[in-house]
């Protein structure tokens, strides 16, 4: 797979510049003291709690240790696989692992989070809109071949959205583009053929039930019984 070219809008450049200035101010404050700021959100996936004081350190954090998966309209975490088609229901799912909150981000890696996205099409293109604010161009990329899309978006400094899609149709990756804006990202994929797509992703093949040896033996017994009835 090759990386799809991306274009960065002026609005995103301005937003990132403001974030950089804000981050520099926060770093100075952190150097002056190790206190956790009131309102700091827990860095665990699926946890929506915020730091409200020393008592927050005694709370039990219910979080998801895995990563979010979106496939065939279903949304679930890789660690517990409680599937739902409703995005808000997915976001409100209680974590399957318990432990202490984490208020400070780790130096290695970023927090993988779910991100709302949808798609639409024209005669020549299929466009995916990912609603990730202030995406970082240097750390974000989309790879593709004719039938597969691999998305890695880092946004808001420490969040990452990861998604792999087996496409319903065929695209020309060399003629596709990723448009990065302040409020969202649009992946505009060039269709190889001007035909309407029935859906975005390709459904998984339905597994055919396999006949077990026990079932085969039972079928043989039934056939023998029918033969005996005919002879009688």
Tell me: do 166 and 192 sit in the same domain. yes
Tell me: do 12 and 68 sit in the same domain. no
pLDDT in tens, 86-128: 888 888 888 998 999 988 765 445 678 888 999 999 999 999 9
pLDDT of residue 23: 58
Tell me: do 23 and 123 sit in the same domain. yes
Structural contact between residues 51 and 35, judged by C-beta atoms closer than 8 angstroms: no
Tell me: do 117 and 190 sit in the same domain. yes
Query: What is the CB-side half-sphere exposure of residue 106 using CA atoms within 13 A?
Result: 9
In a domain, 210, yes or no: no
Tell me: do 24 and 132 sit in the same domain. yes
Tell me: do 130 and 187 sit in the same domain. yes
More confident call, 27 vs 191: 191
Structural contact between residues 132 and 16, judged by C-beta atoms closer than 8 angstroms: no
**Residue 133 pLDDT greater than 50, yes or no:** yes
122 Cβ contact partners less than 8 Å away, ≥ 6 residues apart? none
Which of helix, strand or coil describes residue 19? helix
Domain end marker among 54, 78, 103 = 103
Tell me: do 117 and 187 sit in the same domain. yes
Tell me: do 196 and 84 sit in the same domain. no
pLDDT in tens, 24-83: 545 544 544 467 889 898 988 888 899 999 899 999 999 988 878 777 678 888 888 788
In a domain, 149, yes or no: yes
Structural contact between residues 113 and 133, judged by C-beta atoms closer than 8 angstroms: no
Range of the domain at 68: 37-103
Q: Of 103, 134, 93, 114, whose CA–CA distance to 37 is shortest? A: 103
Tell me: do 119 and 16 sit in the same domain. yes
Among the residues of the chain, which ranges form H helices?
A: 10-32, 87-91, 213-231
Q: Rounded to whole angstroms, what are the CA distances from 134 to 97, 153, 158?
A: 30, 10, 11
In a domain, 212, yes or no: no
Domain count, the chain: 2
CATH number of the CATH domain containing 49: 4.10.1130.20
């Amino acid at each position: 797979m090759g990386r799809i070219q991306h274009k960065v809008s002026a609005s995103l450049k301005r937003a990132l510049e403001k974030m950089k200035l804000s981050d520099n101010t926060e770093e100075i404050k952190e150097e002056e003291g190790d206190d956790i700021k009131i309102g700091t959100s827990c860095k665990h996936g699926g946890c929506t709690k915020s730091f409200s004081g020393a008592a927050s350190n005694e709370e039990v954090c219910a979080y998801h240790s895995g990563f979010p998966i979106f496939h065939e309209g279903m949304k679930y975490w890789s660690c517990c696989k409680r599937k739902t088609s409703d995005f808000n229901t997915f976001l409100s799912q209680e974590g399957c692992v318990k432990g202490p909150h984490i208020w400070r981000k780790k130096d290695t890696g970023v927090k993988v989070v779910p991100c709302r996205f949808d798609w639409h099409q024209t005669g020549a293109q299929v466009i995916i809109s990912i609603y990730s604010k202030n995406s970082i161009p240097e750390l974000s990329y989309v790879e593709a071949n004719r039938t597969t899309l691999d998305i890695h978006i880092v946004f808001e400094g420490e969040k990452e959205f990861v998604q792999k899609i087996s496409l319903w149709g065929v695209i020309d990756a060399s003629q596709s583009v990723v448009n990065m804006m302040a409020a969202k990202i649009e992946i505009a994929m060039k269709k190889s053929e001007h035909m309407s797509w029935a859906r975005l992703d390709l459904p998984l093949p339905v597994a055919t039930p396999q006949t077990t040896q026990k079932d085969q033996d039972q079928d043989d017994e039934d056939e023998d019984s029918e033969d005996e009835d005919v002879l009688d």
